[in-house]
Amino acid sequence: MDRFNVIIIGGGPAGLFCAARAASRSKNVLLLEKNASCGKKLLVTGSGMCNITHSGSISEFFTRYGDHGSFVRPALRSFTNDDLITFFNTRGLPLITAEGGKVFPGSYRSADVLAVLLDECRDNNVDVHYNEPALHAKESDGSFVVTTPDSSYLSSHIVIATGGASYPATGSTGDGYRLANELGHTVTGIAPALTGIISVEYPFTDLAGISFEKSRVSIHRAGKKIKEQTGDLLFTHKGLSGPVILDSSRYIEPGDDLKISFLAGFNDESIKKDLIEKISANGPRQVRTVLSEYALPVRFVRRITELLGIPADLTCAHLSKKDRAALIAFMTAFPVTVRSLCGFEEAMVTRGGVSLEEIDRKTMESRLVPHLFCIGEVLDIDGDTGGYNLQFAFSSAFMAAKSIDPQAR
Ligand X SMILES: Cc1cc2nc3c(=O)[nH]c(=O)nc-3n(C[C@H](O)[C@H](O)[C@H](O)COP(=O)(O)OP(=O)(O)OC[C@H]3O[C@@H](n4cnc5c(N)ncnc54)[C@H](O)[C@@H]3O)c2cc1C
Q: Under the rule (CB under 6 A), what is the footprint of ligand X?
A: 9-15, 32-35, 38, 40-42, 44-46, 50-51, 133-134, 161-163, 166-167, 171-172, 175, 348-349, 376-377, 387-390, 393
User: What type of residue is 147?
Assistant: T
Contact 27, 124 (CB under 8 A): yes
CA 145 centroid distance within chain:
32
CA atoms in the 13 A half-sphere facing the CB of 383:
26
Q: Which of 293, 296, 291 is nearest to 308 (CA)?
A: 291
- Min dist. Cβ of residue 33 to ligand X (A): 5
- Min dist. Cβ of residue 243 to ligand X (A): 11
CA 251 centroid distance within chain:
13
CB closer to ligand X, 149 vs 209? 149
Dihedral through CA 311, CA 315, CA 317, CA 321, nearest 10?
Answer: 30
Q: How far apart are the first and last CA of the chain?
A: 29
CB closer to ligand X, 282 vs 363? 363
- Min dist. Cβ of residue 46 to ligand X (A): 3
CB closer to ligand X, 131 vs 270? 131
- Min dist. Cβ of residue 91 to ligand X (A): 18
Adjacency order of strands within the sheet including 95-97: 53-54, 102-105, 95-97
As a residue count, the chain comes to: 409
CB closer to ligand X, 128 vs 233? 128
Number of Cβ within 10 Å of residue 68's Cβ equals: 18
CB closer to ligand X, 166 vs 366? 166
Give dist(CA 253, CA 67) in Å, integer.
Answer: 16
Give dist(CA 48, CA 270) in Å, integer.
Answer: 40
CB closer to ligand X, 219 vs 348? 348
CB closer to ligand X, 15 vs 239? 15
CA atoms in the 13 A half-sphere facing the CB of 234:
12
DSSP assignment letter at 200 = S
CB closer to ligand X, 32 vs 372? 32
CA 366 centroid distance within chain:
24
- Min dist. Cβ of residue 303 to ligand X (A): 29
Strand partners, 349: 193
- Min dist. Cβ of residue 397 to ligand X (A): 8
Give dist(CA 70, CA 76) in Å, integer.
Answer: 10
CB closer to ligand X, 155 vs 166? 166
Q: Which of 282, 274, 226 is nearest to 251 (CA)?
A: 226
341 contact partners, CB below 8 Å, separation of at least 6: 191, 192, 195, 196, 197, 198, 249, 252, 254, 347
CB closer to ligand X, 8 vs 327? 8
Let me know if 285 is exposed, middle or buried by CB neighbors in 10 A (0-12, 13-18, 19+): middle
- Min dist. Cβ of residue 28 to ligand X (A): 19
- Min dist. Cβ of residue 232 to ligand X (A): 15
